[in-house]
Amino acid sequence: MQFGEFAKASGASSWEELPAHVESFLEMHLKRQGREYSESQQKPAARNIRNPIWQLLRLILPNAQDCSSLHHGQRITKAQTAEPFAEAVPKFFEFLRGERGLREGTIVQYRHYLQRLEDYLRKINRPLLPDLPPRIVTAFITHSGETIEKRSVQSLCSILKVFFRYLYRVGLTQRDLSKVIESPRRYRLTNIPRSITWKEVEQMLDKVDRRSGIGRRDYAILMLLVRYGLRAREVAAMMLDDIDWKHDRLQVPGRKAGHSTVYPLATNVGEAILGYLKQGRPETTQRALFFAALAPYKPLSSVAVSLLAKRYLRKAGVVVPRPGSHTLRHTCVQRLVDSGFSLKTIGDYVGHRTPDATKIYTKINIERLRQVALGVGEEVL
């Protein structure tokens, strides 16, 4: 309501003009609260205001994009709400869908990183065509590396290579800039898995209020994540038909490795799902299992599932790098490794494509190292 009044007072007279006023409203709203935010506090405070506004705007304008990276008050044009470089390179996303056959989830990454490139070129007042100097591409990658992690920089470089190779192939550029892009090197097995102890899992589960419908839903999701090591998108895609109550089975179709997995339905997981179905799931004709708690009732997205896990981990005071649904997946795998199961069995259980994906969990025994650090257990050395 406050944003609507602010946008109207600022001159907005149509739906399409609303995105241009989000950041200026956000700045005004934070100042009006009269609080001094530290740098670490400002981002979550801004996010709590910005996110619900953008959820509403995307219902009104499905192609609208969050313009938080643009200057405050900058007007958003129709070209900005379309796919990146829609006018200069109109058929690139058709190429991704048709010729390369990419899934929409992957295309979202292309859209995200190319939007960053488009915003950067707009900021320095440099057109994409006919030819960008290599130093501009290098400067953009370096600039992006200041705000995103190394793995994301690798994804950015891979996407830029495909994009510039396409520009050269269709004759929009005279030089193949993909050849001047060098991705940062990452070495296998350099990071410690993001698993947590079972005691910390129990602390997290204790923070769920199972007296409410939302709590019952969240508890069922957390149990699926930690018991079966499912990915967020696999939980979000679950349907009522995936649960075979008669034979106590749980099916997970369309996994990342291209196969389906059928699990025995654990009693505590089944009870958690049943509790949500009886007292929590909204009345709807749709067959999805998990839904948003507020109208309009829509199936939960994979992002919502991951954020849900992140919220409860933080609520329980569990400190872990990049908390989210994958933290619980890592925990499930680590428990299986510690129990002595073979890598092939574990990989099949959690849907890994190759044994190499499971090997990362065998490289270090955190608990044993803690014992050594405390002076008990030097014999393991």
Active site residues: 231, 256, 326, 329, 352, 361
What are the C-alpha distances in Å from 182 to residues 137, 142, 156, 381? 11, 11, 11, 40
Beta bridge partners of 288: 239
Write the DSSP string, 182-235.
-PPP--TT-S------HHHHHHHHHTS-TTSHHHHHHHHHHHHHHHH---HHHH
- 142 with 153: CB under 8 angstroms? no
Judging by beta carbons within 10 Å of its beta carbon (0-12, 13-18, 19+), is residue 113 exposed, middle or buried? buried
- The radius of gyration of the chain's CA atoms, rounded to the nearest angstrom, is 24
Whether the ω angle into residue 130 lies within 30 degrees of 0, i.e. cis, is yes
Residue type present at position 100: R
DSSP state of 248: T
User: What's the CA gap between 128 and 163, in Å, rounded?
Assistant: 12
**Tokens 């008669």 found at:** 246
User: What's the CA gap between 258 and 62, in Å, rounded?
Assistant: 30
Interstrand relation of 243-244 and 249-252 (parallel, antiparallel or unpaired):
antiparallel
CB atoms within 10 A of CB 52: 11
